[in-house]
Amino acid sequence: MNGKLALAIAMRRYLAIVLASTLLLSCSTSNDLTDSEKSVLLTELDFREYGLKGEGQAAGRFTKTVDYINRSTELSYETPDDIEGIYISSSVVVERSAADALGTELANKAGVLIGFKAAGIQEVELAMSKPYGARSTVSIMKKDGKPIGNRVAVVVDKKVIMVIFSGIYFDTEARFREFFDGKIERVTTFQLPVKTS
């Protein structure tokens, strides 16, 4: 089984568990994201300068889940199975507090590690001279000893950024920052719209 397929299977299992757990709580899910909400998620279009072909719009599925009990919102994007060359799972969770954001990041990390172990994927942390936000992890994912992609987890204030991609990878801080710094800026300045009654 190649690394991309193993990663996709592991992430789907993890996402199924997360989705089932979420559905047990009071929440709503929609595929109708605003352009502003879509802009904070990583898609295959962000990789065009690295040789990936892309149409004018992302081919995957955007989802917005609002958890009314915990007062959090998760925006997510996942590439379809039939896209060639890359797999991406990208999410931004806006929690009600910075402490909740740290807890969400830890819970996500535990779930991902379980999925990776089942798929035979190891992580090697990429040394970063300056972290993003309150806590951040950038790692290189390896399958059978070969790099297959990166996993990124960042906590900035009440926001948790979680990205996993395979089919392309960054193995140095400089290359990763060149790719990711502009994208993290979009998230740190992003605000969910305030609903008025």
Q: Residue 133: what pLDDT?
A: 85
- CA-based radius of gyration for the chain: 16
Domain boundaries, the chain: 3-189
Highest mean pLDDT among 3-12, 40-49, 188-197: 40-49
Whole-number mean pLDDT of the chain?
Answer: 86
Sorting pLDDT into bands at 50, 70 and 90, what band is 55?
Answer: low
Q: Residue 131: what pLDDT?
A: 86
The residue behind tokens 């390896």 is: 142
The residue behind tokens 């309150």 is: 134
Q: Residue 197: what pLDDT?
A: 44
Structure tokens at 6: 């193993």
- pLDDT of 47 above 80: yes
Q: Residue 135: what pLDDT?
A: 87
Tens of pLDDT, residues 121-174: 999 999 899 888 888 999 999 999 999 999 999 999 999 999 999 999 999 999
- As a whole number, mean pLDDT of residues 45-49 equals 86
- pLDDT of 54 above 90: no
- pLDDT of 101 above 50: yes
Q: Residue 195: what pLDDT?
A: 58
Q: Residue 196: what pLDDT?
A: 45
Question: Residue 111 in contact with residue 132, Cβ under 8 Å?
Answer: no
* CA neighbor of 163 nearest in space, from 183, 143, 135, 182: 183
> What predicted TM-score, i.e. pTM, was given to this entire model?
0.80
Tens of pLDDT, residues 72-88: 899 999 998 777 778 99
Question: Residue 152 in contact with residue 133, Cβ under 8 Å?
Answer: no
Q: Residue 95: what pLDDT?
A: 94
Structure tokens at 114: 């379980």
Residue predicted with more confidence, 146 or 196: 146
In the 8-state DSSP scheme, what is residue 81? T
- Cα angle 9, 14, 15 (rounded to 5 degrees) comes to 95
- pLDDT of 25 above 60: no
